[in-house]
Structure 1
Amino acid sequence: MPATRSDRLSAPLSRTEDAVAVSSPCMACGAVVSGWAWINTAGVGVLMHRTFWGSEACPSAASFDWATGVELSAPVEAVAA
């Protein structure tokens, strides 16, 4: 029976035996990664790839001022370091 709003879950949310990991292409460069997110690094917005080996800055995405949203001219590698 499918769960409805009033039904309780049949298994805890942390259960992963039946889970399937779906890769997500980066919105800027299209690389297939585990996930991606915009992060605030000392006031600079940087698009990060989540990979099996950790997180790394997207080589194609433009960084921006987190407070104003204005694009910065510095390369992503420079602001992510």
Structure 2
Amino acid sequence: MPATLVVLHPASLSAPLSRTEDGVIYEASPCQACGVAGGADWIKVDGTGVLVHNARGRERCPVAAPFDWETGKPLTALPEAVAA
């Protein structure tokens, strides 16, 4: 027997609230590798992908493995130019 879907909201939904509106609280997720609070981003530095902590001035995560940005293959050692 086919399922019958019931339309609960016949009108189109409005756009989501902006993160800049009053009353909205933004909480950054913890680092995916080490769990430190404050959010993290993958960035490209001289062709190498590294994970950085945003709350600490884009400090490189000491746990996350760097990778070749083009291929996605993990690197065993961090290149000198990216280590600093």
Same fold (TM over 0.5): yes
* Residues matched between the structures, number: 74
Alignment-derived partner of residue 54 in structure 2: 50
Percent of aligned positions with the same letter in both sequences?
44
Name the structure with the higher strand share.
Answer: 1
Structure 2 unaligned regions, length at least 5: 1-11
The root-mean-square deviation of aligned C-alpha atoms, in Å, is 2.8
- Tell which structure's C-alpha radius of gyration is larger: 2
Greater RCO (CA < 8 Å, at least 6 residues apart): 1
CA distance in 2 between counterparts of 1:77 and 1:47 reads 16
The change in CA–CA distance for 1:8 and 1:29 in structure 2 (over 3 A counts) is closer
Q: How far has the Cα of 1:73 moved from its partner?
A: 1.5
> Residue deviations 1:5-48, cap 9 Å, x none?
3x467x7x363431213131111111112x21111111000011
